[in-house]
Chain A
């Protein structure tokens, strides 16, 4: 079938059809991104600063964003040049320029990938007094000991906790209403739980039906409720043959309490947190932010100062084990020792003191100048990088202090994803959606370059129009980035 107006303009609009189509589509895209931009505006203006949420500034790498902007602008020029080559009836050159566009898109996306990765491996902890520490190499391993009494949600049980048992998996007993073990010990599994539920439900059902029958015998008009699955057993209480312990990443848990632990499938087990894992550990703190802290004098009373420089006993122990294993296994390895942990190269306590000195030193400096330089300086005031300092010889080097925040003092911790703050929520939404546009646009343009020859030979003007439509989309993608770059990276 011949589609009309692919080349010749339609008399009423004066345009070939695809052009009307792409502009209507771009109009809807303007509304889509417009909505997200106004979402950005709302969040940014709503981040009122003290005492709530401070809009993060200067946390994206400007060179990365700058380079990506140049790449996209170049690709925009390339795409329009490619289209003109079609107009000049030069398919080879068209292909060449189109490949250049796709290469630009590829570089852009790889670049973006690096940026995303740097966010996924960077962590933050919000303490209970609203102080914030950020850094690398977070360890949220939590070990629960003395676990025995277990409650299982029949419908949701997925056996996750069984995989996380540190050591041998014990057998379990059913528990009667007084909490005493009954029957034989059995190996716990999803199938076993279903089996118990079936057995239990059969008992409950026959009991229910017997009581119904009795009611009806007494009074044939009596209203009875028939058995419904919802009347079945919901939870099963179990007790382990002997105490066991569990080692798991805290973020994999639903809830963690001092005296019990709850898994995502609602399995709840009573036990205590091991002293080996007293809290969340960051090996290399690179930023401290006390702007939103509750304490009156963050210089002295912030919780950060209590915990900065503390290392995790779990880490220390596991390292010992590792180096021992290394020593025995393949001979003592000096290189391995050095690279095992950067923070090991220095005394953590001493580093914490230095970090504090530098942090508070520069704060004082800014405070001293506060009369003359207000406003803008406040951002710097309590938002210092602590990773660079001078040692006694005046030599500058990068170093990081560790921190161990006890579980009770952790309000929130996360890597830099939408969970961490509003900025990353809108940042990932905007750049993610834009990245998707780059990807899809590049695929379409690559398609034209690879498989466009047939149409070009048949009707070159039709091909040129197709490329123009693809190009219009590509320019729009560039246009969105032109605004994204300054608002996300520079402001």
Chain B
């Protein structure tokens, strides 16, 4: 993290810019649900949400320039969190109870 006042001022400007982008993206998320069909709105909505989450994590939470240890912790976390979602999906396709196999 930069420590000279000039660099901090630079960061200040960046944070406000990111804030505006996030606000705009929120408007966009709501907006796309009113557009009849551009591809699949669900994935579009989630895509915008993921982009916003990325901005918050990278800029506000400084993940764009962190120490390796934090990345190591997060790689494991993301791996297991996605694994957990995947387990749920596997359960959905259980041949006995799957609603898709009725």
Contact = CB atoms under 8 A, between A and B. Distances in A.
Interface in B39-55: 42, 45-46, 48-49, 52-53
Interface string A235-271: 0000000000000000000000000000000000000
Contacts of A19: 70
A439 interface: no
B8 A30 contact: no
Given A27-B74, A46-B92, A84 B80 contact: no
B87 interface: yes
Given A20-B69, A38-B84, A81-B15, A472 B61 contact: yes
A80 interface: yes
Interface stretch (A70-78, A135-143, A302-310, A399-407): A70-78
A56 to B, nearest CB: 16
B102 A48 contact: yes
Interface string B24-62: 001001100100000000100110110011001100110
A483 B29 contact: no
A69 B28 CA distance: 12
B35 to A, nearest CB: 12
Nearest to A87: B8
B16 A77 contact: yes
Determine which residue in B60, B74, B77, B80 has the highest number of CB atoms from chain A within 10 A of its CB, and name it. Answer: B60
A14 to B, nearest CB: 4
A15 B73 CA distance: 13
B87 A38 contact: yes
Contact of A34 (B1, B15, B16, B81): B81
Interface in A9-54: 13-15, 19-20, 23-24, 27, 30-31, 34-35, 37-39, 41-42, 45-46, 48, 52
A315 to B, nearest CB: 40
B30 A23 contact: no
Interface in B58-99: 60-61, 67-70, 73-74, 76-78, 80-81, 84-85, 87-89, 91-92, 99
Contact of A27 (B11, B48, B68, B73): B73
Interface stretch (A176-184, A197-205, A474-482): A474-482
Contact of B15 (A77, A478, A479): A77
Interface of A: 13-15, 19-20, 23-24, 27, 30-31, 34-35, 37-39, 41-42, 45-46, 48, 52, 62, 66, 69-70, 73-74, 76-77, 80-81, 84, 87-88, 471-472, 475-476, 478-479, 482-483, 485-487, 490-491
Given A23-B70, A31-B81, A491-B45, 17 more contacts: A15-B70, A19-B70, A27-B76, A27-B77, A30-B81, A31-B77, A37-B85, A38-B84, A41-B88, A48-B102, A87-B8, A88-B5, A482-B53, A482-B56, A485-B29, A486-B48, A491-B42
4 A-B pairs with the lowest CB-CB distances in the bound complex, closest first: A48-B99, A77-B19, A34-B81, A27-B77
